[in-house]
Amino acid sequence: MKKTYKELVKNLKKEVKNRGFEKVALGLSGGLDSAVTLKLAVDALGAEHVAALIMPEIGLSSAENIEHAKILAEHFKVKTYYQPINSFLVSFHFTPWGSTPTSQMNLRSRLRMILLYSYANTQNALVLGTSNKSELLLGYGTKYGDLAADIEVIGKLYKTEVKELARFMGLPTELIEKAPTAELAPDQTDENDLGAPYETLDKILKLAEEGRSEDEIMDRGFELSLVKKILSRIANNKHKSEMPPTITAEIENFNEIDMPIEEPPVAKPHKDQQQLF
């Protein structure tokens, strides 16, 4: 992992400089991916150029993850902001269209990204993403939420590779072995959502990236239902890593369009209505 580490640090430093920035910001959850991203950012840019935003939801985010995030930020001596998202969530309870469990989970992720970009815009900083390759391929993230970023730092590393890199960099074993969770709903874990541990998922994902068929992957000893689920997730969530489609149309030359000029009707204001024009 030494070569991987050196390349990530070098390329991150180069990318930030090429974009004309000096400072970066990231969300620090207390989980492994954001911890690895923080360490790489500090090594690439220096602690004085890195800001960590800790944005828990009080009552849902675990005390352990909040404490781990604070310890990491203090250890790496980065500028740190602690901003729970509870007060922002309250406003959405009053929307006339209501909510669903999915909309509530995505809302939490998008609120955190709004806060990150609010900070980045005021401080002339870039936002670092913390998604790994496994999550990006599976679409396991929120569009315009945690999947929104200026630079994805560990997006070329599978989750199992992120763990290897974390061990190489000397991050605490407790952090590395902790069950990964997005903490967007009570008792949520990545394994429960995805149907298997990352050790299994990554093997299937690598075979899929090689272009192996469903049958070929299953012949390697994986359950058909799991293989189908993973391949389906990859196909259905591909849009999360792409720009929105632009609808095409043949554009007529303006001079060739027959457009009769008519005076628009003038609406008479109601007697109690203020006339603006």
Residue pLDDT, tens place only, 10-27: 999 999 999 999 999 999
Tokens coding 26? 């990231």
Q: Which amino acid is at 123?
A: Q
The answer to whether residues 218 and 102 belong to one domain is: no
pLDDT number for residue 272: 60
Mean pLDDT of the chain: 93
pLDDT above 90 for 96: yes
Cα–Cα distance for residue pair 40/269, rounded to 1 Å: 62
Expressed as residue numbers, the domain containing 60 is: 2-185
CATH number assigned to the domain comprising residue 20: 3.40.50.620
Work out the percent of the chain whose per-residue pLDDT is above 90.
89
Cα–Cα distance for residue pair 155/151, rounded to 1 Å: 9
Give the total number of structural domains in the chain: 2
pLDDT number for residue 277: 46
| 135 and 36 Cβ atoms separated by less than 8 Å | no
pLDDT above 60 for 200: yes
pLDDT number for residue 176: 95
Does some domain include residue 200? yes
Per-residue pLDDT, averaged over 141-153, amounts to: 97
| 153 and 129 Cβ atoms separated by less than 8 Å | yes
Does some domain include residue 97? yes
| pLDDT-derived band at 267, boundaries 50, 70, 90 | low
pLDDT number for residue 254: 65
The answer to whether residues 79 and 169 belong to one domain is: yes
**pTM for this structure?**
0.88
